[in-house]
Structure 1
Amino acid sequence: ICMDMTMLDVTGLDVKAGDEAIVFNQEHTIMQLANDINTIPYEILTNISQRVKRVYFYE
Protein backbone atom coordinates (compact mmCIF):
# COMPACT_ATOMS: atom_id res chain seq x y z
CA ILE A 1 0.00 0.00 0.00
CA CYS A 2 1.41 3.38 -1.02
CA MET A 3 -0.35 6.31 0.58
CA ASP A 4 1.64 9.09 -1.08
CA MET A 5 3.46 7.50 -3.99
CA THR A 6 2.70 6.86 -7.64
CA MET A 7 4.10 3.95 -9.61
CA LEU A 8 4.42 3.75 -13.37
CA ASP A 9 5.14 0.76 -15.57
CA VAL A 10 8.25 1.72 -17.55
CA THR A 11 8.86 -1.73 -18.98
CA GLY A 12 10.67 -1.40 -22.30
CA LEU A 13 11.79 2.18 -21.68
CA ASP A 14 15.44 3.18 -21.28
CA VAL A 15 15.13 4.65 -17.77
CA LYS A 16 16.90 4.24 -14.44
CA ALA A 17 16.45 5.36 -10.85
CA GLY A 18 17.07 9.08 -10.53
CA ASP A 19 15.98 9.97 -14.07
CA GLU A 20 13.79 13.04 -14.49
CA ALA A 21 10.05 12.41 -14.68
CA ILE A 22 7.82 15.26 -15.82
CA VAL A 23 4.26 14.91 -14.57
CA PHE A 24 2.91 18.11 -16.09
CA ASN A 25 4.31 20.99 -18.11
CA GLN A 26 3.21 23.38 -20.86
CA GLU A 27 2.53 20.54 -23.32
CA HIS A 28 0.83 18.25 -20.78
CA THR A 29 -0.97 20.62 -18.45
CA ILE A 30 -2.34 19.94 -15.01
CA MET A 31 -5.78 20.80 -16.41
CA GLN A 32 -5.46 17.97 -18.96
CA LEU A 33 -4.30 15.56 -16.27
CA ALA A 34 -7.19 16.54 -14.01
CA ASN A 35 -9.68 16.02 -16.83
CA ASP A 36 -8.15 12.63 -17.67
CA ILE A 37 -8.63 11.38 -14.11
CA ASN A 38 -11.95 13.14 -13.46
CA THR A 39 -10.81 15.59 -10.79
CA ILE A 40 -9.69 19.21 -10.45
CA PRO A 41 -6.12 20.58 -10.59
CA TYR A 42 -6.26 21.72 -6.95
CA GLU A 43 -6.79 18.13 -5.78
CA ILE A 44 -3.72 16.96 -7.68
CA LEU A 45 -1.51 19.74 -6.33
CA THR A 46 -2.60 19.37 -2.71
CA ASN A 47 -2.00 15.62 -2.81
CA ILE A 48 1.66 15.87 -3.81
CA SER A 49 3.54 14.83 -0.68
CA GLN A 50 6.20 17.05 0.90
CA ARG A 51 8.61 14.14 0.34
CA VAL A 52 8.52 14.79 -3.41
CA LYS A 53 11.49 16.85 -4.56
CA ARG A 54 10.39 20.04 -6.27
CA VAL A 55 12.30 21.85 -8.97
CA TYR A 56 10.94 25.20 -10.14
CA PHE A 57 11.77 26.78 -13.50
CA TYR A 58 11.12 30.45 -14.13
CA GLU A 59 11.17 32.09 -17.54
Structure 2
Amino acid sequence: MNGKQIIARLKEEGWTLARIEGSHHIMEKDGMPRGVPVPVHGAKDVGIGLLKAIEKQTGVKLK
Protein backbone atom coordinates (compact mmCIF):
# COMPACT_ATOMS: atom_id res chain seq x y z
CA MET A 1 0.00 0.00 0.00
CA ASN A 2 1.53 3.33 -1.01
CA GLY A 3 1.09 6.75 0.58
CA LYS A 4 -1.62 7.91 -1.82
CA GLN A 5 -3.68 4.79 -1.10
CA ILE A 6 -3.30 5.32 2.66
CA ILE A 7 -4.42 8.95 2.36
CA ALA A 8 -7.47 7.91 0.30
CA ARG A 9 -8.42 5.33 2.94
CA LEU A 10 -8.01 7.85 5.77
CA LYS A 11 -10.15 10.39 3.90
CA GLU A 12 -12.91 7.76 3.65
CA GLU A 13 -12.83 7.59 7.46
CA GLY A 14 -13.14 11.36 7.91
CA TRP A 15 -9.48 12.39 8.12
CA THR A 16 -8.44 15.58 6.32
CA LEU A 17 -5.18 16.81 4.87
CA ALA A 18 -3.90 19.52 7.22
CA ARG A 19 -0.63 20.36 5.47
CA ILE A 20 2.24 18.98 3.43
CA GLU A 21 5.79 19.09 4.76
CA GLY A 22 8.15 17.89 2.06
CA SER A 23 7.10 14.37 1.09
CA HIS A 24 4.99 13.88 4.24
CA HIS A 25 1.29 14.62 4.20
CA ILE A 26 -0.04 15.44 7.66
CA MET A 27 -3.53 14.08 8.26
CA GLU A 28 -5.81 15.39 11.05
CA LYS A 29 -9.16 14.51 12.54
CA ASP A 30 -11.18 16.14 15.32
CA GLY A 31 -8.53 18.76 16.07
CA MET A 32 -5.74 16.38 17.07
CA PRO A 33 -2.92 18.52 18.50
CA ARG A 34 -0.42 16.76 16.22
CA GLY A 35 -1.43 15.20 12.96
CA VAL A 36 -0.42 11.79 11.66
CA PRO A 37 2.34 11.97 9.02
CA VAL A 38 1.95 9.79 5.93
CA PRO A 39 4.97 9.55 3.61
CA VAL A 40 4.22 9.87 -0.10
CA HIS A 41 7.07 8.65 -2.29
CA GLY A 42 5.38 7.99 -5.61
CA ALA A 43 4.24 4.40 -6.09
CA LYS A 44 6.66 3.02 -3.48
CA ASP A 45 4.92 0.94 -0.81
CA VAL A 46 5.11 1.94 2.83
CA GLY A 47 6.88 -0.60 5.04
CA ILE A 48 4.78 -2.93 7.20
CA GLY A 49 6.08 -1.42 10.45
CA LEU A 50 5.11 2.12 9.44
CA LEU A 51 1.78 0.88 8.10
CA LYS A 52 0.99 -0.69 11.50
CA ALA A 53 2.10 2.51 13.29
CA ILE A 54 -0.29 4.60 11.16
CA GLU A 55 -3.08 2.11 11.89
CA LYS A 56 -2.41 2.40 15.62
CA GLN A 57 -2.34 6.20 15.59
CA THR A 58 -5.47 6.59 13.48
CA GLY A 59 -7.54 3.57 14.49
CA VAL A 60 -8.19 2.87 10.79
CA LYS A 61 -7.59 -0.64 9.45
CA LEU A 62 -5.31 -0.42 6.40
CA LYS A 63 -4.79 -3.15 3.81
Compare CA radii of gyration and give the structure with the larger one. Answer: 1
Q: TM-score, normalised by structure 1?
A: 0.24
Normalising by structure 2, report the TM-score.
0.23
Q: Which has the higher helix share?
A: 2
Normalized per residue, the structure richer in strand is 2
